[in-house]
Amino acid sequence: MGAYILRRLLLVIPTLLGIMIINFSLTQFVPGGPIEQILAELEGGGNVFESISGGGSELVEGGDGDYIGGRGLPADFIADLEREFGFDKPPLERFLNMMWNYMRFDFGESYFRSISVFDLVMEKMPVSITLGLWSTLIAYMISIPLGVKKAVRDGTPFDTWTSGAIIVGYAIPGFLFAILLIVLFAGGSFFRVFPLRGLTSANFEDLSLIGKVLDYFWHITLPVLASTISAFATLTLLTKNSFLDEIKKQYVMTARAKGLTERRVLYGHVFRNGMLIVISGFPALFIGVFFGGSLIIETLFSLDGLGRLGFEAAVARDYPVVFGTLFAFSLIGLVVGIITDLTYVLIDPRIDFEARN
């Protein structure tokens, strides 16, 4: 087992290197870099998000590169900028520098704000955790009992129509539900019940503790609801199938034969075994809760989370943020993948990944 883990860990290195190399080389071909972006901002280029959240109508198409000539900005100013961002060095040297820093988990500073990439990610975490935590909790609290019930009533009309509803909910992108919710409950045309933007109100600091809690939940109801709807499908169907497999087994028949109530059979005996496959998803789930970002949901509800951070960084060519988060999240993702595989072995020792012929 130790050899297997070691091999998997070693394989992370070429994968991670591959991801970084491809994205770094792709970046070399892009017209318009961070310097152009700064120049555009100095000259009033505007915010990339205005087009979505309802401000301007022009889309910033990632720098047209026609600034050259400086539009009057002094050449030595641009040279200074280039030196500051390290663009005076050849790409290979920049890449090696970057990787060396990343290996020591030094992710550098954002080009546009004097804040380290690590702090920047930390700053965006509350939104991601809010969306991730609550929608996951709701999804689990509804999906698992529903999955059990569907397994018990497999093939009945209840099973059929809940499957239909769940799958439709999964197929329709979450942001369309978000739009519907906004139009219905926050738009003003129908019920103006929920706020349209932000995680908390402007006067949050002045509120009492209960007021703060209420204000928080008032703000997150719609975004959490919108991001939960699509989460039901996988979990419910996973639970259902796992329970269907378990219900067929001998021990269930034994439990029934000795006269246990159906409830006891399901939740006392089957549940533990049926949940194993769900539990093996926990490592990935955990990471999803913390680092998941939904760009469109965040944009729609004017929340400042990781999804938007990534998008803004990509559009603005904030390379330290782009590559820092890419490196960190890819590493986390790969390691979690290994942990997930190991959990499978933990819950079912019969699984053996080393048997490869």
Partner 1 sequence: MAKRPFLSPLNLRRLRNFRRNRRAVWSLAIFGVLFGLSVFAEFIANDKPIAVSYRGEIRMPIFSFYSERDFGGDFPTEAGYGEPEVDCLIVTGGLDECFDTPDELIAAVDAGQTLDGDFQPGWMLWPVIPYSYNTIVDVSGVAPAPPSAENWLGTDDTKRDVTARVIYGFRLSVTFALTVTVAASLIGIMAGAVQGYFGGWTDLVFQRFIEIWTGMPSLYVIIIVFAILGRSYWLLVFLTVLFGWPALVGVVRAEFLRARNLEYVRAAKALGVRDRTIMFRHMLPNAMVATVTMLPFLVTGAIGSLASLDFLGFGLPSSAPSLGELTLQAKQNLQAPWLGFTAFFTFAIMLSLLVFIFEGVRDAFDPRKTFVADGNVITDEAVFETAAEVPATGTDSR
Residues that bind partner 1 (CB under 8 A): 11, 14-15, 18-19, 22-23, 26-27, 29-32, 51-52, 54, 59, 61-63, 152, 154-155, 160, 164, 167-168, 170-173, 175-177, 179-180, 182-183, 186-190, 196, 244, 247-248, 253, 256, 259-262, 265, 295-296, 299-300, 310-311, 314-315, 322, 326, 330, 333-334, 356-357
**64, 30 Cβ separation under 8 angstroms:** no
Whole-number Å distance between alpha carbons of 61 and 65: 10
CB of 345 to partner 1, least distance (A): 17
Dihedrals φ, ψ of 154, to 5°?
-55, 130
Using the minimum distance from each CB to partner 1, give the nearer residue, 4 or 204: 4
Using the minimum distance from each CB to partner 1, give the nearer residue, 127 or 186: 186
**301, 187 Cβ separation under 8 angstroms:** no
Enumerate the β-bridge partners of residue 223: none
Using the minimum distance from each CB to partner 1, give the nearer residue, 143 or 294: 294
CB of 301 to partner 1, least distance (A): 10
CB of 28 to partner 1, least distance (A): 10
What DSSP line would sit under 167-221, residue for residue?
HHHHHS-HHHHHHHHIIIIISSSS---S-SS-SS-TTGGGS-HHHHHHHHHHHHH
CB of 198 to partner 1, least distance (A): 16
> Both tokens of residue 326?
């890419």
Q: Hey, what's the torsion of the CAs at 207, 181, 137, 331, to 10 degrees? A: -100
**228, 139 Cβ separation under 8 angstroms:** yes
Q: Is 283 helix (H, G, I), strand (E, B) or coil?
A: helix
Give the relative orientation of helices 282-291 and 319-347 as an angle to the nearest 10 degrees: 160
Task: Please enumerate in sequence order all residues whose Cβ is within 8 A of that of 47, keeping only pairs 6 or more positions apart, or say none.
Answer: 55
Using the minimum distance from each CB to partner 1, give the nearer residue, 133 or 169: 169
CB burial class (10 A; 0-12, 13-18, 19+) of residue 230? buried
Enumerate the β-bridge partners of residue 116: 109
CB of 74 to partner 1, least distance (A): 27
What DSSP line would sit under 302-314, residue for residue?
T---HHHHHHHHH
CB of 322 to partner 1, least distance (A): 7
Phi-psi region of 73 (alpha: psi -120 to 50; beta: other; left: phi over 0): beta
Using the minimum distance from each CB to partner 1, give the nearer residue, 187 or 198: 187
Using the minimum distance from each CB to partner 1, give the nearer residue, 77 or 191: 191
CB of 352 to partner 1, least distance (A): 14
Using the minimum distance from each CB to partner 1, give the nearer residue, 104 or 258: 258
Using the minimum distance from each CB to partner 1, give the nearer residue, 289 or 322: 322
CB of 205 to partner 1, least distance (A): 28
Using the minimum distance from each CB to partner 1, give the nearer residue, 310 or 320: 310
State the maximum Cα–Cα separation within the chain, in Å, rounded to a whole number: 88
Dihedrals φ, ψ of 342, to 5°?
-70, -35
- Identify the CA nearest to 300 among candidates 169, 182, 130: 182
